């Protein structure tokens, strides 16, 4: 570990906005959220929204994006999941247990498409809705060499 790496891992060392802006590449990505800087370089390939989404935020303040995915939106997440699961169960039930639909292939196909769309919606939002937070952007004691995510303060 070089001296620069040791300074970068020191959580007490403040960042300036200009310095944050230099960390905007795939090999060196830092993101500011609520006044703290997170090194998300190792997380880019595992980001549920894709690499491009995180790279757009690299070197910038992502507080507004983080607020959208934060746990304060928990009621909205539960409402979305209630709708998805209601659609799943209702479509499944209608396909197999309602005689009028079960006897008509076209109606079964319609409800199968609805069921498939509900499953796709569940999978699309799985990372954000189930974990409901910024997965992988952890605040940890950054003095350890084994810690992949580092946090810093931004000087005002």
Tens of pLDDT, residue by residue over 59-92, are 988 887 776 665 556 677 777 778 878 888 888 8
154 and 34 in contact (C-beta within 8 Å)? no
Task: Tabulate helix, strand, coil % of the chain (nearest 5).
Answer: 55, 10, 30
* Predicted local confidence at residue 17, as pLDDT: 85
Q: What distance separates the 2 farthest-apart alpha carbons in the chain?
A: 73
State yes or no: pLDDT of 141 exceeds 60.
no
**The CATH number fitting domain 3-70+134-154, selected from 3.10.120.10, 3.40.50.300, 3.90.226.10, 3.30.420.40:** 3.10.120.10
Alpha-carbon distance 107 to 85, whole Å? 20
According to DSSP H, which parts of 58-104 are helical? Answer: 63-69, 74-97, 99-102
pTM summary value? 0.44
Q: What ranges do the domains of the chain cover?
A: 3-70+134-154, 72-130
């Amino acid at each position: 570990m070089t001296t620069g790496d040791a300074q970068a891992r020191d959580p007490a060392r403040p960042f300036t906005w200009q310095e944050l802006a230099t960390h905007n590449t795939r090999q060196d990505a830092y993101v500011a959220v609520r006044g703290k800087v997170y090194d998300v370089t190792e997380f880019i390939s595992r980001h549920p929204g894709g690499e491009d989404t995180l790279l757009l935020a690299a070197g910038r303040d992502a507080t507004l994006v983080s607020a959208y995915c934060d746990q304060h939106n928990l009621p909205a997440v539960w409402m979305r999941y209630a709708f998805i699961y209601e659609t799943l169960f209702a479509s499944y039930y209608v396909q197999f247990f309602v005689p009028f639909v079960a006897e008509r292939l076209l109606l079964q196909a319609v409800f199968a498409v609805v069921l498939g769309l509900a499953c796709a919606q569940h999978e699309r939002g799985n990372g954000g809705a189930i974990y409901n937070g910024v997965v992988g952007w952890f605040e940890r004691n950054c003095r350890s060499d084994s810690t992949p995510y580092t946090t810093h303060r931004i000087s005002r």
